[in-house]
Amino acid sequence: MEVNVISQERIKPSFPTPQNLRNFNLSLLDQLIPAPFAPLTLFYSNEDLEILDRVSSLKESLSNVLTRFYPLGGKIKDELTIDCDDEGAYFAIAKTNSTLAEFLIRPKLNLMDRFLPCETSFNGSVIGARVANIQLTIFSCGGISIGFCISHKIFDGASLSTFIREWANATLGSKEPVCPSFIGSDMFPAEDLWLRDMSIKSFVPIFKMGRSATRRFLFKASEIIALKTKATLNSNPTRIEAVSAFLWKCASTASRTRKGFSSPSVQTHVVNLRRRFEPPLHEHTIGNLIWFSSVKLSSPSEMGLHELACQTRKGIREINGFTKNLVRSNERRGAIIESLTKTKDVGDGANYYGFTSWCNFGFYEADFGWGKPIWVNTVGSECPVFINLVVLMDTRDGEGIEAWVTLDEEEMALLETNDELLTFASLDPSPLQATKTKQ
């Protein structure tokens, strides 16, 4: 499949950024993120072959939205600052000789990068890079994809969702614009890079590098209900907790089979902090307002699912206590050091599995005039830098979950033939199988 870029330009904010906002300071928590970009691609069914005639409205609405999301019109100045120079977001238009239906029959991971406007690797410095990069790709049938590479230095999944949905609403002429809140650096000011340096020391030793494979496992709503029932004993897990616990068990089983013995195992989960503050932050608060829970068990592969779900839930809930100390400036540094030290300590000599959930963020609500997306994914590379990572995404009906799992090649070969896993999940199905809309 060929994807050829036919135009490139910068979309500037419709109004200049005030001089007092030109230097945007990143927050302390923004330093926690090692990845340069947060990649995301939305696919839309469309039969209008004159789509290029409608691109002008996309550009105009993007320009208007960038005025409120002003850092996205800038570039990375240094490790602590964004230069809101109003030079604009990179915007490319591409065409492909494939139809959308042909691609979605069985999407190939090695083609995903072609729908993104930039590389998502960790190689090289991002200083000087544009904060926002967007690519509109037009399929031969008229179908469309919109690929985003937004700097992870300022956007987490919730922030990205806020921006995309607001751009979509503006394109449709919404008269009720969202006012994003950029208070992260006020709440958690950063004067130096101590958290970045410490997080590297804490997380890099437990990340694995090597030959890996990524597969997509689809858990439909009925299968998740069955998993939750199986995982319920002393607690009532959410669908995220139930699926995470189940995949942790299955991945640990693959590791045990490959090695011939059980090893201690660590599960971390990215936790959205917005609702955990007192009082809660507004959902449109922009920044990396996240932290990591961590749980270490001696042998998850030999434990019951209800035990693993309970431990997963307990680890995530422990973040509430951490959050209380995080907002107290006199206790913040100590709380962060203690949390990072714990994560590093639990990872010593153990198998590590990192989970992040982009469920419930509303990406499937982004309608630019072609209806809602028929598929959304956040995989940006055929060759992930780190293995043993799991990304959870909603299905279009909002009830199922797609789990993008990256593991060691040998362990993935065992995982994808795990009979228990395949009882609850489908391996790499066509996204068209999960495209029913909510009733």
Residue 199 lies in a domain: no
Q: Helix crossing, 329-347 with 319-326: angle to 10°?
A: 140
290 closest CA partner among 25, 31, 72? 31
Does 325 share its domain with 374?
yes
Q: Answer yes or no: do 404 and 281 share one domain.
A: yes
Tell me what pLDDT residue 181 has.
95
Residue-level pLDDT at 201: 73
Radius of gyration for the alpha carbons in the chain, expressed in angstroms and rounded: 21
Average pLDDT rounded to a whole number, residues 190-211: 76
pLDDT at 400: 95
pTM (predicted TM-score): 0.93
Specify the pLDDT at position 10.
97
Q: What percent of the chain has pLDDT over 90?
A: 71
Please count the structural domains in the chain: 2
The helix or strand, by DSSP H or E, that contains position 234, with its residue range, turns out to be none
Orientation of helix 157-171 relative to helix 55-68, angle to 10°? 130
State yes or no: pLDDT of 9 exceeds 60: yes
For residues 142 and 63, state if they share a domain.
yes
The answer on 89 and 33 residing in a single domain is: yes
Task: For residues 363 and 402, give the distance between their C-alpha atoms in angstroms, rounded to a whole number.
Answer: 14
The one-character DSSP state at 131 is S
Within this chain, do residues 37 and 142 fall inside the same structural domain, yes or no?
Answer: yes
Whether 439 is covered by a domain: the verdict is no
Q: Is residue 381 part of a domain?
A: yes
Instruction: Tell me, yes or no, whether 336 lies in a domain.
Output: yes
pLDDT per residue as tens digits for the range 279-325? 999 999 999 999 999 899 998 999 999 999 999 999 999 999 999 99
Summarised one tens digit per residue, pLDDT across range 422-438 is 999 999 999 987 544 43
**Does residue 200 fall inside a structural domain?**
no
CB 189 within 8 A of CB 25: yes
Nearest to 157 by CA among 390, 424, 356: 356
For the domain that residue 151 is a member of, what is the CATH number?
Answer: 3.30.559.10
Cα distances (angstroms) measured from residue 206 to each of 215, 251, 386: 21, 16, 10
Task: Mark residue 380 as left, alpha or beta (left: phi above 0; alpha: psi -120 to 50; beta: remaining).
Answer: alpha
Last residue of a domain, one of 158, 187, 216: 187
Residue 60 belongs to some domain of the structure: yes
Top-confidence residue, 255 or 342: 255
Pick the catalytic residue from 83, 85, 86, 367: 367
Residues 6+ apart with CB under 8 A from 330: none
pLDDT band at 197 (very low <50, low <70, confident <90, very high): confident
pLDDT band at 439 (very low <50, low <70, confident <90, very high): very low
Active-site entry in 152, 156, 269, 306: 152
Tell me the average pLDDT of the chain.
90
The pLDDT tens digits of the residues spanning 408-420 come to 899 999 999 999 9
Q: Which of 118-132, 146-160, 164-178 has the lowest mean pLDDT?
A: 118-132
| C-alpha pair distances (Å), 356 with each of 135, 292, 345, 391 | 25, 9, 20, 5
* Residue 53 in this model has a pLDDT that exceeds 70: yes
Per-residue pLDDT, 436: 46
Distances in Å between the alpha carbon of 112 and those of 47, 58, 116, 357, 406? 22, 23, 7, 20, 15
Is residue 172 located within the same domain as residue 223?
no
pLDDT digits (tens, 9 = 90+) for 356-387: 999 999 999 999 999 999 999 987 555 555 67
The residues with which 144 forms a beta bridge, in sequence order, are 44, 138
How far apart (Å, rounded) are the C-alpha atoms in residues 99 and 92?
Answer: 19
* Highest mean pLDDT pick, 14-23, 49-58, 100-109: 14-23
Q: What is the pLDDT of residue 438?
A: 38
pLDDT of residue 238: 94
Say whether both 408 and 289 belong to one domain.
yes
DSSP string across 199-210: HHHHHGGGSB-S
On whether both 168 and 215 belong to a single domain, the answer is: no
Q: At what angle do helices 221-231 and 239-259 cross, to 10 degrees?
A: 80
Mean pLDDT of 344-358: 81
The DSSP code sequence of 27-96 is PTGGGG---SEEEEEEEE----TTGGGGHHHHHHHHHHHHHHSGGGGSEEEETTEEE-----EEEEEEEE
- Does residue 224 share a domain with residue 173? no
Active site (annotated) includes residue 408: no
Range of the domain at 67: 3-187
Q: Which of these ranges, 47-51, 146-150, 352-356, 365-369, has the smallest mean pLDDT?
A: 47-51
Within a domain: residue 197? no
* Strand-pair category, 351-357 with 265-272: parallel
- Report yes or no on 334 lying in a domain: yes
263: pLDDT confidence band, cut at 50, 70 and 90?
Answer: confident
Segment 79-85 mean pLDDT: 95
- State whether 376 and 232 are in the same domain: yes
Given a cut of 70, whether residue 207 has pLDDT beyond it is no
Position 34 scores a pLDDT of 76
| 284 among known catalytic residues | no
- The residue type at 269: H
Rounded CA-CA distance 290/141 in Å is: 40
Same domain, 110 and 35: yes
Same domain flag for 300 and 375: yes
Cα 159 off chain centre by: 10
- How many Å apart are CA 359 and CA 366, to the nearest integer? 14
* 187, 216, 248 - which closes a domain: 187
Tell me which residue of 198, 246, 152 sits closest to 342, measured CA to CA. Answer: 198
- Could you tell me if residue 177 is left (phi over 0), alpha (psi between -120 and 50 degrees) or otherwise beta? beta
